[in-house]
Structure 1
Amino acid sequence: MPKMLNWNVLRSRFGARAASAKARAVKGRDWIRRNDPVYAAVRRPGPAEWWAGGLTLLLIAVVLIFLAWFDWNRLRGPIGRWASAEYQRDIAINGDLNVHLFSWTPSVRVQGLKIGGPDWARDRDTARIDTVEASVRLRRLLAGQVEMPLLRFTRPQVVLIAAEDGRKSWALNADRADDGQGMKLPVIQKLVITDGRLVFEERRRKMTLDAAVDAHEGADGDAGFLLQGEGTVNRSPLTLRIEGGPFINIRRDRPYRFKARMAGAGSSLTATGAVTRPFDLGRFDATLTLEGRDLADLYLLTGLTLPNTPPYRLSGALKRNEAVWTFNDFDGRVGASDLSGDLRVQGGGRLQVEAELASRRLDIDDLAAVLGARTVTNARGTETEAPVAKGGKLLPDAPLQTERLRQMDGSLTYRAAAVKANELDVRAVNLGAELKDGILNLDPISFDFNRGALNGTARIDATQARPYSRVDLRLSGYPLESIVPARNGAPPLTGRALGRARLEGPGASVHQFAASSKGTISLVVPDGRMRAAFAELLGINASAGLLKLLSGDQSTAQIRCAVADFNVSGGTATAKTLVIDTDVVLAQGGGTIDLGQETLNLRIDGESKKPRLLRIWAPITVQGPLTAPRVGVDVGAVASQGGLAGLLATVAAPVTALFAFVDPGLAEDANCGQLIAGAR
């Protein structure tokens, strides 16, 4: 059987140890009583001890009497001189300084407080306050906590200036970097502000605000905090209103409710929420609604660089956690498209922005505004929803705000699951962007069509006033019938197009970039079909081509290959190869495309591969604006050919005059493999 515990033995052992510890304690106490002079002096004070104790009590009494009767105004000068030297600005107390120490709630009253501006803004005092009254709870203070039963300001006049280089006039310690964590105030049970005025200037965004500030306590409906003012932002009107409840019922564990609304620069921000830990302004939750005519305008109100857009309205959950701001689960509309997602902004120095955006159904016209297309005014005098390029241009010309790109870093993803019906037949969009030190990388740039896709990347260097860009775009499998619409129910062209554009150059807008770019542009159709009538007319076959057109012939000819390969320099694309090879005609041409003027000037000569009667040797011309090119025939060549026929008719039999219009059909097939390889 297991051995049982002997509780008597254990009890006796613990008892012996306890007795030994007690004996040691008694021995140590006796030693102190016999040998410690301090203990002996306290137990049996002599004359010296009595004198020392009396002098100590007398000194304490003198100090207390001195503090009770001291004229605290004598310290105004020393305090002002010390503060001025410490914070490198003019600080002074020009009125009375009263201190009441002998209370469980010590208090101070300062009149005529002046805090001057820094060296770069000495003409504007940061603060002038007629009277400041404050009290603290002594017991809390001795416990290491600051709790203020009262904080009262009478006629405070505060001027806050943010310089273009980021310096802030209210930063008393200019050498300390702004951590972006927000102001942390002590617990205030009663806040009273009478006839307050706040002036704010943000010179980088050309923002000014002149606001009245009031706060008072009580049970009436008017009790609470109110800041309300007007100003301008980039020369347009600005309004701001912030209101909250009275402070009398605030507790550390009870959120403090507030409402705020700012409107200006064609935008408005409305927030309703709560400071989750009262007096810690670095933490709050709110519901935020944004609306306006262009998301890019929000830079003037928030400092965030956002793309150009059509009119928008978005709502979501705004949260601040010290230096991190999030706008999560927002949803709404931008133009005719829906938009949702999450936004995260890291403050405390250079802004770091991360955004994940998505649309369930995108209107492709809204995306044009992001690329720089501008809205125009319709006949009724209101802005149209669909953005268009200014002046009838195809390429957007709105300038990129390079100075804004240099002020923040970040990343963005955007996906449109579906796209409304459009002329280009775009079905889905996937975009990615990363901004770092003024360089914007777009990767991927992806558009999925009904058949085929456009994919690529772009890099925009915005470190200089005029950005320099590089783009590399690839088109794969795009159907020709989407380029040339069907006529009489049948498409004149079928097949898949492949293309690539590699361009680089300076320019603040898409149009300026194209007008000064260099690189290559190529378009290849490796196989396809063309209406036989059009194929014949490439060689201006007046017999077969016109007859088929007039008879409504829908038969097709094979496109063995079509290649358009251009070298681009100074915004002008010059044809290096321009070939359309069908089984009946080989057409070759040349010419230029002016990307700056957005015009075409191309010439195509066709040679029939079969003998034809009434073949007119005249080139086809493609000229005019990219948005509405004109296709015609070089009438000069037709006239010269007709003149030759007339000359022959005067010296020979009438049948001989037909020789000028007879095509022997000597053209050979083009080397499509070599042409396609060269274009790629």
Structure 2
Amino acid sequence: MARSLKWNDMWSGVRDKALVPAGARARDWRDWIRQNDPVYAAARRPGAAEKWAASVTLLLIAAVVVFLMLFDWNWLRGPIGRWASAKYDREIALRGDLDVRLFSWTPSVVVNDLKFGGPDWAREADTANVQRIEASVRLRKLFAGQIEMPLLSVTRPDVVLIAAEDGRKSWALEPDKPDTGEGMKLPVIQQLIITDGRIRFDEQRRGLTLDATVTARETANDGDAGFVLDGTGALNDSPLTLRIEGGPFINIRRNRPYNFEAVLSGAGSRLTADGAITRPFDLGRFNATLTLEGQNLADLYLLTGVTLPNTPRYRLAGALSRDERIWTFKDFDGRVGASDLSGDVRVDAAERLRVDADLTSRRLDLDDLLAVLGGRPQTNAAATDTETTVAAPGRLLPDATLQVDRLRTMDGTLKYRAAAVKANDFDVRAVNLGADLKDGVLALNPVSFAFNRGELNGTARINATRDTPYSNVDFRLSGYPLESLIPAGDGPAPLTGRALGRARLEGPGASIHDFAAGSKGSISVVVPQGEMRAAFAELLGINASAGLLKLLSGDQSKADIRCAVADFTVSGGTATARTFVVDTDVVLAQGKGSIDLGAETLNLRIDGESKKPRLLRVWAPITVGGPLTAPRIGVDVGEVVGQGGLAGLLGAVVAPVTALFAFVDPGLAEDADCGRLIASAR
């Protein structure tokens, strides 16, 4: 209580003397301490207890200092090695001298002959063997909670990094900890010296091996100062090279970017980066100008782990940046085949990779897009034209195998738009594609192609979680011009009108060909109105006196197509005609038969009934057979068909046509021409 009153008196005195000069207040404070502080009094007039305590303390400090000065740090090599081996479940040993210098403003340690073994599953190769390590820290920074190393010198480091097929990494000290994708963060190193370094990397999943030398020198007579990693190896048995160069570390600062250049070549690709680590020693952040070039974007999977589609030869350049686990390739531009390509790509390198891309083309060469389906493209040297072979000789459907294992390794989305398309046989004018990949299931929506007239729109779903993918497709064709299918020669087009259709199929298959060969569902095409050369219309009824003579004489007159329908049911890869009707002004024709999607062959037969009496007429069926790529059209003259009557034939057609209206196009039932077909049958 008395002491509390003294403190109150003291503070009252301070407040009363607020305007007294600082020197006078300091003297008053000193005098009060001398009179009232017991610690000060004990120090001024120490008793026996205080003297003994001070003496013991000084002796202990002196003993510790002498002990540390004379201590042989090699005695700790065994305990340190055993502790580290137990903690990290691998053999760790300090086999050479251990020298520690504590009494300095920059304490240092020298470790000789360090062995850092591999984990249980990779005992055959030590993760690291280092002949000598010398490191020092700045004591003043250490007291402030920062690590700054004036020197880090490593002599003859031999590092072996192994990544197993199941994803295990030999260098991971905590293998059960999830991989966050964040970059390594190093302390500030003012002087880095690496002498005769070697790094060997073995990534077994992609068949990637690399053997590189590493040096870091602050000064050199030949001017080759700085950091250099130079390595060669193989990627799926093809050559691989990597070179990374950076400036010297001397006088480097945390707030100054550290410039570097890197070149990686392999798997038919070349990546060149010229950039800077934003904050030196934080390898999780950097910016660079990146240039990519190679034969096929899909090959980059072997270098980056990112699944990309098949493409022709490419060259792209843009701004690459990393912010911890987020990588972005922004504002890139370049060419893929004969098409331009630009956009942004964002990669989240978390435990499960995610890629989001937004891409555009000002002008697309359709052959470049066909390469995505597995075609084999050839682009000319000037990159102005691409020719793509989609399937094997004699085949129409692509047979390239989908690599389902790559689809399982990542998630992501894709948006692609082509504002214009180079002139092509299909008369495609614009393209809009979207894709969403999640847990091995790829959903394509939309798949949209705009023609000069009409559109093809649809969706597809590919389940790649199975060894053999299972796919569902649903495509609708609206208003496609028939003259684009059979172009005109010297005269007018032999067939005009607009086609409407729908294909809804599902089935297994690792390629488009295999999918079609095992699919089930339906394919339907309707031509609600149009025109046909009268000669062809007459020949549907095999009228020798009219159709054949008109065809031979080059007659260009037209016959109206009132309605045409082709409706197939698909099972086991075979499309069987349920309804096959062509109704013109002069002939009503009905067909039957099948299309083998696996063998890609046709077996169709068309019977025609003339609507007008003819003087000379042979009523025999027309046959369409052979491969899809080169169908053969003939007449089965060995069979003469008896008269069937228009009323019965037309009546049998109306019901199937009506059922197709809602399936193919909801607005088709209102079309005047098909409406007249139905009305005429009543």
TM-score (norm 1): 0.90
Query: Unaligned stretches of 5+ in structure 1?
Result: 1-14, 642-659
Q: How much has 1:515 moved relative to structure 2?
A: 0.8
Q: Is the 8 A contact 1:585 1:667 kept in 2?
A: no
Q: Is the 8 A contact 1:610 1:664 kept in 2?
A: no
Q: How much has 1:181 moved relative to structure 2?
A: 1.4
Aligned to 1:435: 437
Moved more, 427-436 or 221-230: 221-230
Matched, 1:119 2:120: yes
Q: Is the 8 A contact 2:458 2:475 kept in 1?
A: yes
Q: Is the 8 A contact 1:615 1:663 kept in 2?
A: no
In the alignment, the residues of structure 2 paired with residue 386 and residue 567 of structure 1 have an alpha-carbon distance, to the nearest angstrom, of 31
Sort the Cα spacing of 1:280 and 1:377 in 2 relative to 1 into closer, same or farther, 3 A: closer
Sort the Cα spacing of 1:177 and 1:33 in 2 relative to 1 into closer, same or farther, 3 A: farther
Aligned to 2:354: 352
Q: How much has 1:448 moved relative to structure 2?
A: 0.1
Q: Is the 8 A contact 1:581 1:669 kept in 2?
A: no
In the alignment, the residues of structure 2 paired with residue 385 and residue 604 of structure 1 have an alpha-carbon distance, to the nearest angstrom, of 36
Q: How much has 1:43 moved relative to structure 2?
A: 4.1
Letter in structure 2 aligned against 1:334 = V
Matched, 1:677 2:678: no
Moved more, 626-635 or 383-392: 383-392
Letter in structure 1 aligned against 2:635 = V
Letter in structure 2 aligned against 1:399 = T
Instruction: Give the secondary structure class of the aligned counterpart of 1:77.
Output: helix
In the alignment, the residues of structure 2 paired with residue 631 and residue 423 of structure 1 have an alpha-carbon distance, to the nearest angstrom, of 23
Q: Is the 8 A contact 2:373 2:390 kept in 1?
A: no
In the alignment, the residues of structure 1 paired with residue 268 and residue 415 of structure 2 have an alpha-carbon distance, to the nearest angstrom, of 26
Instruction: Give the secondary structure class of the aligned counterpart of 1:386.
Output: strand
In the alignment, the residues of structure 2 paired with residue 32 and residue 670 of structure 1 have an alpha-carbon distance, to the nearest angstrom, of 121
Q: Is the 8 A contact 2:271 2:292 kept in 1?
A: yes
Q: Is the 8 A contact 2:191 2:251 kept in 1?
A: no
Instruction: Give the secondary structure class of the aligned counterpart of 1:677.
Output: helix
Structural mapping, 1:357-376, within 5 Å: 357-375=359-377
Q: Is the 8 A contact 2:526 2:565 kept in 1?
A: yes
Letter in structure 2 aligned against 1:176 = K
Letter in structure 2 aligned against 1:196 = G
Moved more, 73-82 or 230-239: 230-239
Match of 2:16 among 16, 19, 30: 19
Q: How much has 1:40 moved relative to structure 2?
A: 4.0
In the alignment, the residues of structure 2 paired with residue 553 and residue 39 of structure 1 have an alpha-carbon distance, to the nearest angstrom, of 127
Sort the Cα spacing of 1:377 and 1:323 in 2 relative to 1 into closer, same or farther, 3 A: closer
Query: Unaligned stretches of 5+ in structure 2?
Result: 1-11, 664-682
Q: Is the 8 A contact 1:468 1:504 kept in 2?
A: yes
Moved more, 151-160 or 549-558: 549-558
Instruction: Give the secondary structure class of the aligned counterpart of 1:514.
Output: helix
Q: How much has 1:18 moved relative to structure 2?
A: 3.2
In the alignment, the residues of structure 2 paired with residue 357 and residue 201 of structure 1 have an alpha-carbon distance, to the nearest angstrom, of 34
In the alignment, the residues of structure 2 paired with residue 70 and residue 487 of structure 1 have an alpha-carbon distance, to the nearest angstrom, of 101
- Identity across the alignment (%): 72
Sort the Cα spacing of 1:419 and 1:376 in 2 relative to 1 into closer, same or farther, 3 A: closer
In the alignment, the residues of structure 1 paired with residue 14 and residue 62 of structure 2 have an alpha-carbon distance, to the nearest angstrom, of 51
Q: How much has 1:664 moved relative to structure 2?
A: 8.8
Q: Is the 8 A contact 2:368 2:377 kept in 1?
A: no
Sort the Cα spacing of 1:335 and 1:377 in 2 relative to 1 into closer, same or farther, 3 A: closer
Q: How much has 1:389 moved relative to structure 2?
A: 1.7
Match of 2:466 among 464, 467, 471: 464
1:124-163 per-position Cα deviation (integer Å, ceiling 9, x unaligned) = 1100001011111111111111111111111100001111
Letter in structure 2 aligned against 1:19 = D
Match of 1:333 among 310, 332, 335: 335
Aligned residues: 641
1:487-542 per-position Cα deviation (integer Å, ceiling 9, x unaligned) = 33211111110000000011111111111111000000011111111111000011
Letter in structure 2 aligned against 1:116 = G
Aligned to 1:138: 139
Structural mapping, 1:32-111, within 5 Å: 37-111=38-112
In the alignment, the residues of structure 1 paired with residue 107 and residue 263 of structure 2 have an alpha-carbon distance, to the nearest angstrom, of 38
Sort the Cα spacing of 1:546 and 1:266 in 2 relative to 1 into closer, same or farther, 3 A: same
Sort the Cα spacing of 1:28 and 1:676 in 2 relative to 1 into closer, same or farther, 3 A: farther
Sort the Cα spacing of 1:663 and 1:516 in 2 relative to 1 into closer, same or farther, 3 A: closer
Match of 1:319 among 300, 318, 321: 321
Aligned to 1:182: 183
In the alignment, the residues of structure 2 paired with residue 49 and residue 569 of structure 1 have an alpha-carbon distance, to the nearest angstrom, of 103
1:445-465 per-position Cα deviation (integer Å, ceiling 9, x unaligned) = 000000000000000000111
Letter in structure 2 aligned against 1:93 = L
1:580-617 per-position Cα deviation (integer Å, ceiling 9, x unaligned) = 11121110111111111111111101111111122112
In the alignment, the residues of structure 1 paired with residue 655 and residue 411 of structure 2 have an alpha-carbon distance, to the nearest angstrom, of 46
1:418-459 per-position Cα deviation (integer Å, ceiling 9, x unaligned) = 000000000000000000000000000000000000000000
1:203-239 per-position Cα deviation (integer Å, ceiling 9, x unaligned) = 1111111111111111652001111111111111111
In the alignment, the residues of structure 2 paired with residue 247 and residue 271 of structure 1 have an alpha-carbon distance, to the nearest angstrom, of 20
Q: How much has 1:333 moved relative to structure 2?
A: 0.7
In the alignment, the residues of structure 2 paired with residue 40 and residue 591 of structure 1 have an alpha-carbon distance, to the nearest angstrom, of 118
Q: How much has 1:400 moved relative to structure 2?
A: 0.8
In the alignment, the residues of structure 1 paired with residue 335 and residue 548 of structure 2 have an alpha-carbon distance, to the nearest angstrom, of 52
In the alignment, the residues of structure 2 paired with residue 616 and residue 122 of structure 1 have an alpha-carbon distance, to the nearest angstrom, of 86
In the alignment, the residues of structure 2 paired with residue 44 and residue 451 of structure 1 have an alpha-carbon distance, to the nearest angstrom, of 108
Moved more, 446-455 or 172-181: 172-181
Letter in structure 2 aligned against 1:575 = A
Instruction: Give the secondary structure class of the aligned counterpart of 2:165.
Output: coil
Matched, 1:426 2:428: yes
Sort the Cα spacing of 1:623 and 1:28 in 2 relative to 1 into closer, same or farther, 3 A: same
Q: How much has 1:678 moved relative to structure 2?
A: 2.2
Q: How much has 1:70 moved relative to structure 2?
A: 0.4
Letter in structure 2 aligned against 1:539 = G
Aligned to 1:386: 388
In the alignment, the residues of structure 2 paired with residue 58 and residue 559 of structure 1 have an alpha-carbon distance, to the nearest angstrom, of 115
Structural mapping, 1:501-580, within 5 Å: 501-580=503-582
1:287-337 per-position Cα deviation (integer Å, ceiling 9, x unaligned) = 111111110000000000000111111111100111100000111111111
Aligned to 1:343: 345
Letter in structure 1 aligned against 2:361 = S
Q: How much has 1:175 moved relative to structure 2?
A: 2.3
Match of 2:407 among 394, 405, 408: 405
Letter in structure 1 aligned against 2:498 = R
Letter in structure 2 aligned against 1:244 = G
Aligned to 2:669: none
In the alignment, the residues of structure 1 paired with residue 19 and residue 110 of structure 2 have an alpha-carbon distance, to the nearest angstrom, of 57
In the alignment, the residues of structure 1 paired with residue 470 and residue 377 of structure 2 have an alpha-carbon distance, to the nearest angstrom, of 26
Letter in structure 2 aligned against 1:186 = P
Q: Is the 8 A contact 1:95 1:110 kept in 2?
A: yes
Aligned to 1:5: none
Letter in structure 2 aligned against 1:309 = T
In the alignment, the residues of structure 1 paired with residue 13 and residue 617 of structure 2 have an alpha-carbon distance, to the nearest angstrom, of 131
TM-score (norm 2): 0.90
Sort the Cα spacing of 1:672 and 1:488 in 2 relative to 1 into closer, same or farther, 3 A: farther
